[in-house]
Amino acid sequence: DTGVSQNPRHKITKRGQNVTFRCDPISEHNRLYWYRQTLGQGPEFLTYFQNEAQLEKSRLLSDRFSAERPKGSFSTLEIQRTEQGDSAMYLCASSLVPLAGVTNEKLFFGSGTQLSVL
Amino acid sequence: SQQGEEDPQALSIQEGENATMNCSYKTSINNLQWYRQNSGRGLVHLILIRSNEREKHSGRLRVTLDTSKKSSSLLITASRAADTASYFCATDAWYGNKLVFGAGTILRVKS
Protein backbone atom coordinates (compact mmCIF):
# COMPACT_ATOMS: atom_id res chain seq x y z
CA ASP A 1 0.00 0.00 0.00
CA THR A 2 1.86 3.04 -1.28
CA GLY A 3 -0.97 5.46 -0.61
CA VAL A 4 -2.61 8.00 -2.90
CA SER A 5 -0.13 9.99 -4.97
CA GLN A 6 -0.79 13.41 -6.49
CA ASN A 7 1.36 15.34 -8.92
CA PRO A 8 2.47 18.02 -9.03
CA ARG A 9 2.48 19.16 -5.40
CA HIS A 10 2.46 22.80 -6.41
CA LYS A 11 1.49 24.54 -9.63
CA ILE A 12 1.80 28.23 -10.38
CA THR A 13 0.20 29.41 -13.58
CA LYS A 14 -0.93 32.57 -15.26
CA ARG A 15 -4.57 33.37 -15.75
CA GLY A 16 -5.90 31.90 -18.97
CA GLN A 17 -3.50 28.97 -19.08
CA ASN A 18 -4.56 25.31 -18.92
CA VAL A 19 -3.37 23.04 -16.13
CA THR A 20 -3.61 19.29 -15.57
CA PHE A 21 -3.24 17.39 -12.31
CA ARG A 22 -2.72 13.68 -11.88
CA CYS A 23 -3.86 11.33 -9.14
CA ASP A 24 -2.73 7.73 -8.64
CA PRO A 25 -5.09 6.02 -6.19
CA ILE A 26 -4.42 2.95 -4.09
CA SER A 27 -4.31 0.20 -6.67
CA GLU A 28 -7.24 -1.95 -5.57
CA HIS A 29 -9.58 0.96 -4.87
CA ASN A 30 -12.54 1.27 -7.22
CA ARG A 31 -13.70 4.75 -6.24
CA LEU A 32 -11.79 7.95 -6.86
CA TYR A 33 -12.87 11.41 -5.73
CA TRP A 34 -11.72 14.94 -6.48
CA TYR A 35 -12.25 17.67 -3.88
CA ARG A 36 -11.25 21.32 -3.80
CA GLN A 37 -10.24 23.11 -0.63
CA THR A 38 -9.70 26.82 -0.05
CA LEU A 39 -8.01 28.33 2.96
CA GLY A 40 -10.01 27.96 6.15
CA GLN A 41 -12.65 25.76 4.56
CA GLY A 42 -13.35 22.07 4.40
CA PRO A 43 -12.96 20.07 1.20
CA GLU A 44 -15.74 20.63 -1.35
CA PHE A 45 -16.78 17.75 -3.57
CA LEU A 46 -16.07 18.12 -7.29
CA THR A 47 -16.59 14.71 -8.89
CA TYR A 48 -16.15 10.97 -8.41
CA PHE A 49 -15.52 7.84 -10.43
CA GLN A 50 -16.60 4.27 -9.88
CA ASN A 51 -13.91 2.40 -11.80
CA GLU A 52 -13.72 4.30 -15.12
CA ALA A 53 -17.24 5.74 -15.01
CA GLN A 54 -17.71 9.33 -13.85
CA LEU A 55 -20.92 9.06 -11.85
CA GLU A 56 -21.42 12.50 -10.34
CA LYS A 57 -20.24 16.03 -10.91
CA SER A 58 -20.78 18.97 -8.62
CA ARG A 59 -22.27 22.21 -9.87
CA LEU A 60 -18.91 23.68 -8.81
CA LEU A 61 -17.40 21.88 -11.78
CA SER A 62 -17.85 24.38 -14.58
CA ASP A 63 -17.38 23.60 -18.28
CA ARG A 64 -13.73 24.59 -17.86
CA PHE A 65 -13.13 21.56 -15.64
CA SER A 66 -12.84 18.03 -16.96
CA ALA A 67 -11.82 14.84 -15.23
CA GLU A 68 -10.99 11.44 -16.62
CA ARG A 69 -10.11 8.04 -15.24
CA PRO A 70 -9.12 5.88 -18.20
CA LYS A 71 -9.11 2.16 -17.49
CA GLY A 72 -10.19 2.79 -13.94
CA SER A 73 -6.66 3.46 -12.72
CA PHE A 74 -5.10 6.93 -12.44
CA SER A 75 -7.17 10.07 -12.92
CA THR A 76 -6.49 13.50 -14.37
CA LEU A 77 -8.21 16.79 -13.61
CA GLU A 78 -7.82 19.51 -16.23
CA ILE A 79 -8.74 23.15 -15.80
CA GLN A 80 -8.92 25.18 -18.98
CA ARG A 81 -8.54 28.96 -19.14
CA THR A 82 -7.69 29.22 -15.46
CA GLU A 83 -9.09 32.08 -13.40
CA GLN A 84 -7.80 33.53 -10.13
CA GLY A 85 -10.80 32.02 -8.37
CA ASP A 86 -9.49 28.55 -9.27
CA SER A 87 -6.62 29.02 -6.82
CA ALA A 88 -7.05 26.27 -4.22
CA MET A 89 -5.77 22.93 -3.00
CA TYR A 90 -7.06 20.11 -5.21
CA LEU A 91 -7.37 16.88 -3.28
CA CYS A 92 -7.76 13.37 -4.61
CA ALA A 93 -9.06 10.50 -2.52
CA SER A 94 -9.78 6.85 -3.14
CA SER A 95 -11.77 4.12 -1.43
CA LEU A 96 -12.90 0.55 -1.88
CA VAL A 97 -16.67 0.25 -2.01
CA PRO A 98 -18.41 -3.11 -2.32
CA LEU A 99 -20.24 -3.34 -5.64
CA ALA A 100 -23.55 -3.84 -3.93
CA GLY A 101 -22.97 -1.22 -1.28
CA VAL A 102 -23.93 2.42 -1.34
CA THR A 103 -22.28 3.67 1.82
CA ASN A 104 -18.97 5.43 1.75
CA GLU A 105 -16.32 3.95 3.95
CA LYS A 106 -13.16 5.82 4.83
CA LEU A 107 -11.36 7.79 2.20
CA PHE A 108 -7.62 7.78 1.67
CA PHE A 109 -6.40 11.21 0.62
CA GLY A 110 -3.35 12.28 -1.30
CA SER A 111 -1.30 15.29 -0.20
CA GLY A 112 -3.00 17.50 -2.76
CA THR A 113 -1.94 19.85 -5.54
CA GLN A 114 -1.76 23.50 -4.52
CA LEU A 115 -2.75 25.67 -7.49
CA SER A 116 -1.94 29.36 -7.60
CA VAL A 117 -3.33 31.38 -10.51
CA LEU A 118 -1.60 34.72 -10.96
CA SER B 1 -22.50 23.05 -0.05
CA GLN B 2 -21.15 21.85 3.26
CA GLN B 3 -23.52 19.85 5.39
CA GLY B 4 -21.50 19.63 8.57
CA GLU B 5 -20.72 22.57 10.79
CA GLU B 6 -18.00 22.23 13.40
CA ASP B 7 -17.92 24.08 16.66
CA PRO B 8 -15.76 25.74 17.85
CA GLN B 9 -13.96 27.14 14.80
CA ALA B 10 -10.74 27.22 16.79
CA LEU B 11 -9.58 25.72 20.08
CA SER B 12 -6.37 26.30 22.01
CA ILE B 13 -5.48 24.07 24.97
CA GLN B 14 -2.49 22.99 27.04
CA GLU B 15 -0.81 19.66 26.51
CA GLY B 16 -2.46 17.00 28.66
CA GLU B 17 -5.90 18.61 28.56
CA ASN B 18 -8.88 17.14 26.73
CA ALA B 19 -10.21 18.66 23.52
CA THR B 20 -13.85 18.43 22.47
CA MET B 21 -15.13 19.35 19.02
CA ASN B 22 -18.73 19.26 17.88
CA CYS B 23 -20.34 18.72 14.51
CA SER B 24 -23.90 19.34 13.43
CA TYR B 25 -25.44 18.18 10.16
CA LYS B 26 -28.71 18.52 8.31
CA THR B 27 -29.84 15.28 6.63
CA SER B 28 -30.18 11.63 7.56
CA ILE B 29 -26.90 9.79 7.29
CA ASN B 30 -25.41 6.33 6.83
CA ASN B 31 -22.32 7.21 8.80
CA LEU B 32 -20.28 10.12 10.08
CA GLN B 33 -16.49 10.28 9.93
CA TRP B 34 -13.80 12.45 11.47
CA TYR B 35 -10.60 13.41 9.66
CA ARG B 36 -7.45 15.27 10.66
CA GLN B 37 -5.44 17.56 8.43
CA ASN B 38 -2.01 18.91 9.18
CA SER B 39 -1.15 22.21 7.55
CA GLY B 40 -0.72 21.92 3.79
CA ARG B 41 -1.31 18.18 3.74
CA GLY B 42 -4.08 15.78 2.83
CA LEU B 43 -6.68 14.51 5.24
CA VAL B 44 -6.22 11.43 7.39
CA HIS B 45 -9.16 9.32 8.49
CA LEU B 46 -9.55 9.04 12.25
CA ILE B 47 -12.77 7.22 13.04
CA LEU B 48 -16.13 6.24 11.51
CA ILE B 49 -19.39 5.90 13.43
CA ARG B 50 -22.49 4.39 11.82
CA SER B 51 -25.99 5.75 12.19
CA ASN B 52 -27.02 2.87 14.47
CA GLU B 53 -24.08 3.44 16.83
CA ARG B 54 -24.05 5.95 19.66
CA GLU B 55 -20.43 5.90 20.81
CA LYS B 56 -17.12 4.64 19.53
CA HIS B 57 -13.56 4.64 20.87
CA SER B 58 -10.20 4.45 19.18
CA GLY B 59 -7.13 4.99 21.33
CA ARG B 60 -7.39 8.52 22.77
CA LEU B 61 -10.38 9.32 20.57
CA ARG B 62 -14.01 9.07 21.61
CA VAL B 63 -16.81 9.86 19.20
CA THR B 64 -20.50 10.16 20.02
CA LEU B 65 -23.41 10.41 17.64
CA ASP B 66 -26.91 11.67 18.39
CA THR B 67 -29.04 11.17 15.28
CA SER B 68 -32.09 12.76 16.92
CA LYS B 69 -30.15 16.00 17.30
CA LYS B 70 -28.13 15.44 14.13
CA SER B 71 -24.91 16.05 16.00
CA SER B 72 -21.63 14.37 16.83
CA SER B 73 -18.72 15.13 19.11
CA LEU B 74 -15.06 14.17 18.98
CA LEU B 75 -13.14 14.00 22.25
CA ILE B 76 -9.35 13.79 22.24
CA THR B 77 -8.07 12.88 25.68
CA ALA B 78 -4.64 13.73 27.12
CA SER B 79 -3.79 15.92 24.14
CA ARG B 80 -0.27 16.20 22.77
CA ALA B 81 1.47 18.91 20.76
CA ALA B 82 1.35 16.51 17.79
CA ASP B 83 -2.46 16.68 17.88
CA THR B 84 -2.24 20.26 16.59
CA ALA B 85 -4.16 20.16 13.31
CA SER B 86 -7.53 20.90 11.70
CA TYR B 87 -10.31 18.41 12.38
CA PHE B 88 -13.21 17.85 10.01
CA CYS B 89 -16.41 15.89 10.30
CA ALA B 90 -17.78 14.34 7.13
CA THR B 91 -21.21 12.86 6.58
CA ASP B 92 -22.28 10.10 4.24
CA ALA B 93 -25.87 11.07 3.49
CA TRP B 94 -28.28 8.19 2.88
CA TYR B 95 -29.10 9.50 -0.60
CA GLY B 96 -25.57 10.39 -1.66
CA ASN B 97 -22.47 8.75 -2.99
CA LYS B 98 -19.94 11.09 -1.51
CA LEU B 99 -18.74 12.45 1.80
CA VAL B 100 -19.69 16.05 2.59
CA PHE B 101 -17.25 17.87 4.85
CA GLY B 102 -17.74 20.64 7.35
CA ALA B 103 -15.56 23.74 7.66
CA GLY B 104 -13.43 22.23 10.42
CA THR B 105 -12.08 23.05 13.86
CA ILE B 106 -8.50 24.27 14.21
CA LEU B 107 -6.93 22.71 17.30
CA ARG B 108 -3.75 24.07 18.81
CA VAL B 109 -2.12 22.15 21.63
CA LYS B 110 0.51 24.16 23.48
CA SER B 111 3.43 22.39 25.12
Nearest 5°: phi and psi at B81? -55, -35
Residues on chain A touching B43 (C-beta within 8 angstroms): 43, 91, 93, 107, 109
Question: Residues, chain A, total?
Answer: 118
pLDDT for position B2: 52
Tens digit of each residue's pLDDT, chain A (118 residues): 579 999 999 999 999 999 999 999 999 899 999 999 999 999 999 999 999 999 889 988 889 999 999 988 999 999 999 999 999 999 999 998 876 556 668 999 999 999 999 9
Nearest-CA distance from A109 to chain B in Å?
Answer: 6
* Grouped pLDDT means (10 residues each) for chain B, 111 residues: 77 97 92 94 95 96 97 98 97 81 96 92
pLDDT for position A101: 58
State whether A42 and B31 contact (CB < 8 Å): no
pLDDT for position A105: 80
pLDDT for position A84: 96
Residues on chain A touching B29 (C-beta within 8 angstroms): none
Q: Are strands B29-37 and B43-50 parallel, antiparallel or unpaired?
A: antiparallel
